[in-house]
Amino acid sequence: MTREYPDIDIATLEKLGEGYEAEIFAWEDGQALRLFREGHERNVDSERIAIPAALAGGIPAPRIGEALRVAGREGTVMERIDGENLLDLIGRKPWFMTREAWETGKIHARLNGLAAPAGIATVHERAREWIGNVEVPPHLAALAEETLEGLDGGDRFCHSDFHPGNVLLEPDGRRVVIDWGFCATGPPEADVARSVALLRLGEPLDPSPAMRVITRLFRPLAAFVYLRGYQLVAPVDTTLMWRWVVVRAIEHLAIVRLISPPDAGIPDPLEAVEGLIAHARKKSGAA
CA terminus-to-terminus distance, the chain? 52
**Cα–Cα nearest to 65, from 83, 80, 82:** 80
Q: CB–CB of 40/22 below 8 Å?
A: yes
DSSP 270: H
Segment 4-21, tens digit of pLDDT:
887 888 889 999 888 777
Q: CB–CB of 10/73 below 8 Å?
A: yes
Alpha carbon distance 160, 184 (integer Å): 7
Domains of the chain in start order, with CATH, are 3-78 (3.30.200.20), 84-284 (3.90.1200.10)
Give the pLDDT of the chain (287 residues) as one tens digit per residue. Answer: 778 887 888 889 999 888 777 889 999 899 999 998 877 677 788 999 999 999 999 999 999 999 888 888 888 999 999 999 998 898 889 899 999 999 999 999 999 999 999 999 999 999 999 999 888 999 999 999 999 999 999 999 999 999 999 999 999 999 999 999 899 999 999 999 999 999 999 877 666 677 777 777 788 999 999 999 999 999 999 999 999 999 999 999 999 888 776 666 677 899 999 999 999 999 999 86
Q: Give DSSP secondary structure letters for 160-224.
A: S--SGGGEEE-TTS-EEE---TT-EEE-HHHHHHHHHHHHHH---SS--HHHHHHHHHSHHHHHH
Alpha carbon distance 239, 272 (integer Å): 21
Output the CA–CA distances (angstroms, integers) from residue 251 to 11, 63, 140, 265, in the order listed.
Answer: 33, 29, 10, 20
